[in-house]
């Protein structure tokens, strides 16, 4: 079955530290990839997405992600986190083709300490 794995369930960082959140998907064909962020008490917001082209995609708020096809990975990065980045981050994959379904990982809760 198609799935998305986020191996870091809870990450605690100090301000200015670098961030990398792992995401792996299990699907052999063409897939569109997304990172969403959910701030406390709010809905999911799109951070960035990859459909095709340059595997290094830049999103809002200084986030970026790199698609590595050979590793089935789409890791999220930010060089220097801020307290305001405290949130839950979800990776999602959407295989192109017949299915409309967006498959989510279980999320990574990031706490940034001032």
Partner 1 sequence: DAGITQSPRHKVTETGTPVTLRCHQTENHRYMYWYRQDPGHGLRLIHYSYGVKDTDKGEVSDGYSVSRSKTEDFLLTLESATSSQTSVYFCAVDWGERSTDTQYFGPGTRLTVL
What is the residue-wise DSSP string for 79-103? SS--GGG-EEEEEEEEESSS----E
Q: Is 44 in the site for partner 1 (CB under 8 A)?
A: yes
Question: Among all chains, which residue has been given the structure tokens 């708020």?
Answer: 61
User: What backbone phi and psi angles, to 5 degrees, belong to 59?
Assistant: -120, -160
For position 74 contacting partner 1 by CB under 8 A, the verdict is: no
Grouping H, G, I as helix, E, B as strand and the rest as coil, residue 35 is strand
Q: Which of 14, 102, 111, 113 binds partner 1 (CB under 8 A)?
A: 102
Which residues have C-beta within 8 Å of that of residue 41, sequence separation ≥ 6? none
| Of positions 34, 35, 63, 67, contacts partner 1 by CB under 8 A | 34
What is the smallest separation between the CB atom of 16 and partner 1, expressed in angstroms? 29
Least Cβ distance, residue 44 to partner 1 (angstroms): 4
What is the token pair recorded at 105? 């990982």
- Closest approach, Cβ 83 to partner 1, in A, equals 23
Of the candidates 8, 13, 17, 49, which one interacts with partner 1 according to CB under 8 A? 49
Rounded to the nearest 5°, which phi and psi values hold at 86? -60, 120
Residues that bind partner 1 (CB under 8 A): 32, 34, 36, 42-46, 49, 51, 90, 94-96, 98-102, 104-107
């Amino acid at each position: 079955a198609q799935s998305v794995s986020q191996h870091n369930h809870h990450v605690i960082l100090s301000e200015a530290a670098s961030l990398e959140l792992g995401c792996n998907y299990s699907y052999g064909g063409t897939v569109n990839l997304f990172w969403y962020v959910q701030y406390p008490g709010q809905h999911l917001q799109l951070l960035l997405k990859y459909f095709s082209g340059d595997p290094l995609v830049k999103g809002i708020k200084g986030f970026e992600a790199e698609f590595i096809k050979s590793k089935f990975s789409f890791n999220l990065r930010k060089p220097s986190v801020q307290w305001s980045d405290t949130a839950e981050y979800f990776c999602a994959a959407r295989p192109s083709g017949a299915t409309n379904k967006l498959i989510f990982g279980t999320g990574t809760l990031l706490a940034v300490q001032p």
